[in-house]
Every structure is written in structure tokens, then in C-alpha cells.
Amino acid sequence: MSNTTSTTLPVTQDLAGQHVIIAGGGIGGAAGALSLSLRGARVSLYERHREFREVGAGLQIGPHGWRMLDGWGVLQRIVDAGFLPEHMRFHDAVTGENILTLDFGEEFQEHFGGRYVVIHRSDLLDILIEAACEAGAELHTGVAVEDATTTDDGVDVAIFDRDSEERSTVHGDVLLGFDGIHSVLRPRLVDDDVVPSAYVAYRGTSELAEDPQMSDLKDVVGYIGPHCHFIQYPLRGGELLNQVGVFQSDRYLDGRDAGEIPEDWGNNAELAVAYDHCIDFIRKRTEKLWKDQWWQMSDREPLMKWVDGRVIVLGDAAHPPLQYLASGAVMAMEDAECVARFAVDDAAKKGGAPDWDAVLAEVEAERAPRCARIQTTGRFWGELWHLSGTPRLIRDELFRSADRGGWFRYADWLWGYDPSERAYVGHPEKGKMPAELEGWAYTLVQRSGHDAAPNTAEAAAD
Amino acid sequence: MSNTTSTTLPVTQDLAGQHVIIAGGGIGGAAGALSLSLRGARVSLYERHREFREVGAGLQIGPHGWRMLDGWGVLQRIVDAGFLPEHMRFHDAVTGENILTLDFGEEFQEHFGGRYVVIHRSDLLDILIEAACEAGAELHTGVAVEDATTTDDGVDVAIFDRDSEERSTVHGDVLLGFDGIHSVLRPRLVDDDVVPSAYVAYRGTSELAEDPQMSDLKDVVGYIGPHCHFIQYPLRGGELLNQVGVFQSDRYLDGRDAGEIPEDWGNNAELAVAYDHCIDFIRKRTEKLWKDQWWQMSDREPLMKWVDGRVIVLGDAAHPPLQYLASGAVMAMEDAECVARFAVDDAAKKGGAPDWDAVLAEVEAERAPRCARIQTTGRFWGELWHLSGTPRLIRDELFRSADRGGWFRYADWLWGYDPSERAYVGHPEKGKMPAELEGWAYTLVQRSGHDAAPNTAEAAAD
């Protein structure tokens, strides 16, 4: 990429003189480095791996992310590297019927103030890292953040350089812990474990040009069926096809019931039969998935306390979601923008440097409820996709009904969000599930959902 | 009632000279006697009980029944004796929320060509019996139809007079078997049993004037909840309150699993706790239900062959439904009108007497698919009412969606039906479940539905 693009970044000096340390150089950390350096802060980012990298393949960004990327001045790079789907189509995986289509056209763009874009995870990370560099962030790889101590005037961060094998301390005003689902900073706030969902994901990218069956694909397509789903969309301007197959692992559930969960739950043998109750098309498409790796899907319980002194956990360190609402990366980007925006606002109010303790408290008040809602609603959304029997038929009809009668109402809370509006500050109850879902609890890993409907429609449809 | 009303009945002589014998003097038989005698046929109806009677209390008649009652000239009597609800309201029994309201106002009446009326079962029967008498039908009580033999020119019907204890034979052109769910004629066509649903109904009527909590009731109101529902509506111009409580019996399910079903499943002890997961209002309203009797709800599998020579089974003898679509009585009335109408049409085509073999074949072709669809959809509709956990939440949202976006589409097939249009003749596939429900099977008596959702919303709402 030419240096000329850097001139388009909207850099200010609102946070000049502030030193922000970031643990973790994934999408969240890179977004944090970009958003803070764009405001003139000095940013020091430490990534434990020797290079910046993202595992996985495609990633979806709704208008809630689009608007932020636009504000950061990197939108055109994202669009150039990604793909703008025309629709998101949901199909019943048992019958193939198209039960709901989200049209990403003009009405959508006007309503949500942004578009929907899909992009390769590594492309998104590259763009954010490159822009953060252009904005002046100092990025270090092969350096792990190991500990942090809040001091009178900020935070001392203990780092370990893997090349020199030396430990040292850097001092900053604040530490943003974007260090992922297995964060070393999260245990300062809570002693918890990841929550396995019993679902496993297989992914794969392939050349669209060599795939005549899919060459017309312009949409994000999701086939949702009992205990499984299958996603397809183009990447890189339509060069690549991205596919994701996700299904519930009997091997996990059997192991859990027997008291010993095998390491390889969700293995290739399970994949081979996971779509037997779905239309042939899906069964055959699974052949293109990578077989040498798979992802056992987990999240964590929502966390309402993110701040310990001048340390705050953000991104997956604070709120790793299941993938169903396709908002994990955007949530981390929202965190990044929220910290920068609130710090700028506080600095303006104070007429000088921000009061970081107040800023972090406000970020937590805004972001924790928002992310809790995405996490819990995401679990529900997954359960909705994976229903069988009568509930599946009702779900299909509800989707058809939304298709006829309008679906914006269901997405406004998610895609219409802007952290600068402080919707949750002072109204943390907005982070709860919608009233109609209160009392619902996470049943994805309940075996019952698997056995509930002996007279399932899919059996008859085979 | 004065004799002057009889002058309003629209009597013709289209079927003069035809002798129609009817077994059973319930609502179906009475409707058959009326519809056939209105066309000038000689009708001999035999009811085994010593008086015409209906068990139960209130009964609902949708516009599909309204239009027939209008055609038979008895509509004003029905309206005078019944109640015209303004709406049908569905509430979630766990939260009390009103999730769907069917407005029976002008738009409804214009769309369906009729109104919605509720009436005491015994009032409906009285009106039909009285009108059939006025139209010239010969009605006999205390006389049971025991057997029938098709002859060269009609049917010999063996009857037993309970008072004289004498057996005799009457000859007619055709025998209509409206002899109920325990029909003695149905075994000519199929060897089957009733299918218990594991649900039991308690009913009760009480004075609305002495019930200040309900005195404003103008609607049919249904509270639908996990494994139970509760219905309320006024009767007799608003003098009476009709209430029905229906719930799944653990006693039945436990007995079935243990291999011996107790006779008293659904007993008062079960009623006492059946609504513990519902709002207090419902729990308290159950006090007004009659405790000395309850109805174990059953239906039968759909039957596609109704005709044996000059004998045809109709009404509950042919298609006893579960009560969820509130169309059992109307289905029997549709049968009655269909026989009369098709006979008149055939007589007109032949320019003389109808060919009863052809008429019965056409009635079967029209009615069997129609009734099969009502029976199977009724089972599904009941399952929809009784869902728990996540499926209940989806159901609620689907009902809200129908409330916002229009619900006529879901009722057109049921309430827009007119037997004279012969919609199913030659298109028996219309009797199948709608495409989206194909493959669905009856799970009401599956225990799974009871145990499926350990994390049910109702538990949290208590």
C-alpha cells in the first residue's frame, strides 16, 4: 500500500501527551492502537507472537463496524480488500427453502447509516495494523505483557521480550488489555473458565473461479438446520469463497455425560455425518472445508467489572462471544473507539488531560452491558438456528414473517449502536435480554435439545 | 319460540321424494336433519338417548359456520341466544402479555363474509333441532341405529326402540352416520381407537353479574402456557361466563410409562397444581371451574374413506378433532350442508332424483381432505399453545409478528371455506398440512415436550 493513503487518516492532537499501553495485537488491539493514535496519544502495543496474525478466514462487519471504520479513515481500504454482499439469505438446511433475506441495499444503508462488508480476518488485521503505524503507534511483536501495577500516576506494565528473553517495565497512563479469550489480565477481575458450546466449526476458503456451482454468489448465505448450520460468502472482491460449517458434537456430549471429554471432539468422523439430515447441496459443499483443523466453539459468561486500577480488559479478554451475531470483531472495535472517544470527551471537559479513572469507569458502564447483551443474545440466536421438530417449523415461520413484515426491528439494537451516544451509561438494564427473552437461559449444551423431538421434520424429509 | 319464525326458513323441494335417515341427534345430526329437510327431503333422525342433549358448555362458531347458519335461516336465533365477541385475545399464560388480538370488527367481517359467535352447546342444539322440526324432519329419541344394509334401491337401517324394546327396519335412500366419536357405524370403514392427547379439560359456567373481575369481558380470551391453557368468554348475551381449563396430565403420562393408565387421570389433585407456573390471575380463576367432571381430550387419526354403500359417516363419527381450532361443530355442519348441496346439484344435473352413490363419493372427496387438515392442524395448533422454554419465546414473537403484520393469511383456509366451492374435490392434496408443516407429526403425547427445557422461562418467572 502506498504511503499516500496515510494522508487520509483523520489525526487530531486531543490526547497529545497521553501514553496508552495495549496488550495484544489482534483485531481489538490493533483497533485500539489506531483509535488512540488517531487522537494524538502515544500508543505502545505489545503482541506476544512474533508476527501479527489472525487465525480463521472470513469475518463479517455490520454497519455498526462500517461507521467506525469510516470515522477512522480506513473504510476504503476495507472495501477494496473485502466484499460487499448484496443480501444475507437464510435458508432452512432441511428443505433448502429461503426463509428470510436481508437486503443490504439503499433502504438498509439509509436506515443503519452504513453498509455490510465481509473481509478476510488477516486482511482486516493488516489494514488496522498498517493504519495504526501510519498514525504513529509503536507496535512491538514477540513481546508479552505479563503483569501490571497501578501507580500514583498511571500503570507500570511488566513485559517480556521473547527474543532477548529480557523482562522490563514500561510506564503508561493506562493499560488496555486486548489479550484475547485466554487473557492474562482477565484473572485480575474474575476467576472463570471458558464455556464450551458443544459446537465445532470447520472453515475453508477456495477459489471461486474454479467453482462453477458458486460463481454467481453475491450474498452471505446461511443454511440453518437442526444442530448445525453452514455459511457461505465471497471474499477478496469475489476471488475467494469462504465457507463455515458448524455442528453440535455428539462426541462432546457423550464425553461430558461419561465424565471425560475427549480432546478431539468434533473430529472429521463427526463432520462426515453432521449434515446427513440436510439437503444434498450442503452435504456436498462440506467437501471444500479444511479438514486439518477445527474450532471448538466457546464463550465466557458476561463480565460486568472490567476495570482494575488503570487496567481495563477489552475485546475477547472481556467478552468473548459465540459467533452467531457476527459481532466479535466489531465489539472489540467499539471498545477501542469508546475508550478514545470518552477520553477525548473527558479531556475536553477538563480542559486538559483526561481523568483516566473516570474514563475507564465510564467505558465499563457503557460497554459491559452492551457486550453482555450481545453475548447472551448471540447464544439465543444460535439456539434459534439449531432448533428441530416443531420449534424449527415455528422459527421458519417467524423468519418468513420477518421477511414479509420487516426485520429492522430485530437488528436496530445491534447495528444501530454508536458508543458515543452512551446508550448504556446510566441505563445498564439495556444490557439485559429483551423483555420477551428474560428468563431464557443458555441451553445450547443441554442434551435435551438434541433428543427433544423424536418426530422431527428432518427425519421425514430424508 | 313462536311458530312465526318457521316461516323464515328457506325451504325448497329440490330433494322431494328422497328419504334420508340420520343416526345421531347431536349438533351434526341436527344440522343434517335441518339442511336436508330444508331441501325438501324426508328426514328420519334417530337419537339413542331419550332426549336431545349436549354435554359441555360454550362452543365457538367462526365465519365458516356463520355463513351456513345464515343460509339455513337460523342465524338470528343463534345471535339472540349467543354472544358476539369483539375480539379473540391470546395471552402468554406465564407473563400475562397480550401477544395477539384478532379483531372481529368490520375488516374481519368483510374479509370472511361472516362474524364470530359463541353460544352454549345446548342452545345451539335446541335451535337446530327446533328448526329441523319446523322444516319437517321427523325426529325420534330413545331409538338407536344398530346396523345398516345397502340394498338395490337404498339402505335398510336396523333400529332399536329403547322404550318398547322392539327392533325394526326402516328403509331410506341413504344413511348419514352422525353418531359421534364412539360411532357404531365407523367400524364398517376402519378398525381404530381414539387417540388420547394426555390433556384434560375442565369447564364451568357462572353468572357474569356476580363476577366483578370479569364483568367487562367482551372477548374470547385465551391464556396459553407451557402444558396448559385457559379460555374465557361470555355466553347468552353476556349473562354467563364460560371458562375452560386444559392441561397435560402427568398422571396419564406416568401411567402410560408404567404400563397402566389410571382411569382418573386429570383429576382434581392435578388441576390444583396445573397452573402453578402461570400468572396468579389464572390460578385463581380455576376456582370457578366445575370439579365434579372433566373431559379427557382425545381425537382419532384422519380417515379418508367415509362411504360404505349407502352409508356415510360424518361429524365426529368420521373426524373427531381435538378442540384447538374450535371447529368440531362447524365441521359437522359443513358435512351436513355439503351432503344437501351436492345432492341438490346432482339432482339438478340429472333432472330428477340424485344418484346417491355419486353424491356420497363426491362428499367424501370434498370433506375427507378438509377434515383431515383440520384434525392435523388442530393437533399442531395445540402443540403451539403448549410450548415451553425457547420454543415458547419464539411462538410468542411469531404471535406478536402476526399481530403487527396481519393474521388473515393463517385463517383463510379454515374460515374462508365453503363446501359448495368443492375446493378439495379433485385436489385432495389440499388436505395435507401446509408445506411448511409437512413432515410434522403428532407429539402432544410425547413426554419429551414436557421435559425438553430444563431451563424454562416459566421457572424463572415464578
Cα–Cα distance for residue pair B9/B115, rounded to 1 Å: 20
Q: B253 with B447: CB under 8 angstroms? A: yes
Cα–Cα distance for residue pair B30/B91, rounded to 1 Å: 35
Average pLDDT, chain A: 92
The answer on pLDDT for B390 being more than 80 is yes
pTM listed for this prediction: 0.90
Instruction: Note whether B443 contacts A453, CB cutoff 8 Å.
Output: yes
Q: B159 with B46: CB under 8 angstroms? A: yes
Alpha-carbon distances, residue B389 vs A388, A402, A439, A461, B27 (angstroms): 14, 21, 9, 25, 39
In A, minimum Cα distance to B410 occurs at A397
DSSP state of B50: S
Cα–Cα distance for residue pair A306/A285, rounded to 1 Å: 42
The answer on pLDDT for B451 being more than 70 is no
DSSP state of A151: E
Size of interface A-B (CB pairs under 8 A): 105
**Closest residue by Cα to residue A458 from A92, A113, A170:** A92
In B, minimum Cα distance to A448 occurs at B452
What's residue B76's pLDDT? 97
In A, minimum Cα distance to B92 occurs at A436
SS3 B184: coil
What's residue A7's pLDDT? 54
**Closest residue by Cα to residue B307 from B316, B318, B319, B291:** B318
Nine-digit cell at A342?
Answer: 470518552
What's residue B456's pLDDT? 32
**Buried b / exposed e across A382-412, counting CB within 10 Å, b at 16+?**
bbbbbbbbbbbbbbbbbbbbbbeeebeeebe
In B, minimum Cα distance to A396 occurs at B436
Cα–Cα distance for residue pair A458/A388, rounded to 1 Å: 8
> B166-172 and B154-161 as β-strands: parallel, antiparallel, unpaired?
antiparallel
**Closest residue by Cα to residue B159 from B52, B311, B17, B21:** B21
Q: B119 with B65: CB under 8 angstroms? A: no
Cα–Cα distance for residue pair B44/B36, rounded to 1 Å: 10
What's residue A432's pLDDT? 84
The answer on pLDDT for A370 being more than 80 is yes
- DSSP letters, A431-450, are GSPPGGGTT----TT-THHH
Cα–Cα distance for residue pair A88/A100, rounded to 1 Å: 8
Gap between the terminal Cα atoms of chain B: 52
What's residue B430's pLDDT? 87
Instruction: Note whether A457 contacts B440, CB cutoff 8 Å.
Output: yes
Nine-digit cell at B261?
Answer: 393408565
Nine-digit cell at B28?
Answer: 351434526
Which H or E run contains B41?
none
Instruction: Report the alpha-carbon angle A186-A182-A423, nearest 5.
Output: 55
Instruction: Note whether A393 contacts B452, CB cutoff 8 Å.
Output: no
Band (pLDDT 50/70/90 cuts) for residue A457 is very low
What's residue A343's pLDDT? 98
Cα–Cα distance for residue pair B374/B432, rounded to 1 Å: 9
Q: A190 with A210: CB under 8 angstroms? A: no
**Buried b / exposed e across B145-184, counting CB within 10 Å, b at 16+?**
beebeeeeebbbbebbeeeeeeeeebebbbbbbbbbbebb
**Closest residue by Cα to residue A174 from A212, A148, A199:** A148
Strand partners, A79: none
- Residue A352 has a CB neighbour count (10 Å cut-off) of 10
Average pLDDT, chain B: 92
What's residue A431's pLDDT? 86
Instruction: Note whether A380 contacts B390, CB cutoff 8 Å.
Output: yes
The answer on pLDDT for A46 being more than 90 is yes
- Residue A197 has a CB neighbour count (10 Å cut-off) of 23
When mean pLDDT is compared across A145-154, A382-391, B120-129, B161-170, the lowest value belongs to A382-391
- DSSP letters, A239-281, are TEEEEEEEEE-HHHHHHHHHT---TTTT-HHHHHHHTTTS-HH
Average pLDDT over residues A71-90: 98
Alpha-carbon distances, residue A379 vs A228, A303, A326, A375, A387 (angstroms): 14, 15, 12, 6, 13
In A, minimum Cα distance to B456 occurs at A440
pLDDT digits (tens, 9 = 90+) for B265-299: 999 999 999 999 999 999 999 999 999 999 999 99
The answer on pLDDT for B1 being more than 50 is no
CA distance B227 to chain A (A): 15
* Neighboring chain B residues of A397 at a CB cutoff of 8 Å: 398, 436
DSSP state of A321: P
Strand partners, A142: none
Which residues are CB-neighbours of A182 under 8 A, at least 6 positions away?
Answer: none
Cα–Cα distance for residue pair B171/B45, rounded to 1 Å: 12
Strands of B300-445 (E only): list them.
307-308, 311-313
CA distance B452 to chain A (A): 5
CA distance A191 to chain B (A): 24
Strand partners, A139: A45
**Closest residue by Cα to residue A192 from A296, A297, A298, A301:** A301
pLDDT digits (tens, 9 = 90+) for A167-190: 999 999 999 999 999 999 999 999
What's residue B435's pLDDT? 74
Alpha-carbon distances, residue B232 vs B103, B228, B335, B383 (angstroms): 16, 14, 28, 20
Cα torsion A450, A454, A458, A459: sign:
positive
Which residues of chain B are at the A interface, by a Cβ-Cβ cutoff of 8 Å?
Answer: 380, 383-384, 387, 389-391, 393-398, 400-402, 404-405, 436-443, 446, 448-449, 451-455, 457-461
- Looking up cell 325438501 gives B40
Q: How many CA atoms lie within 13 A of A61 on its CB side?
A: 30
Cα–Cα distance for residue pair B423/B135, rounded to 1 Å: 29
The answer on pLDDT for B444 being more than 80 is no
Nine-digit cell at A174?
Answer: 493506562
DSSP state of A428: G
% helix / strand / coil in chain A, to the nearest 5?
A: 40, 25, 35
- Torsion-angle region of residue B165: left (phi > 0), alpha (psi -120 to 50) or beta? left
CA distance A393 to chain B (A): 7
pLDDT digits (tens, 9 = 90+) for B313-371: 999 999 999 999 999 999 999 999 999 999 999 999 999 999 999 999 999 999 999 99
When mean pLDDT is compared across A4-13, A122-131, A176-185, the lowest value belongs to A4-13
Helix axes B389-405 and A389-405, enclosed angle (nearest 10): 30
The answer on pLDDT for A454 being more than 50 is no
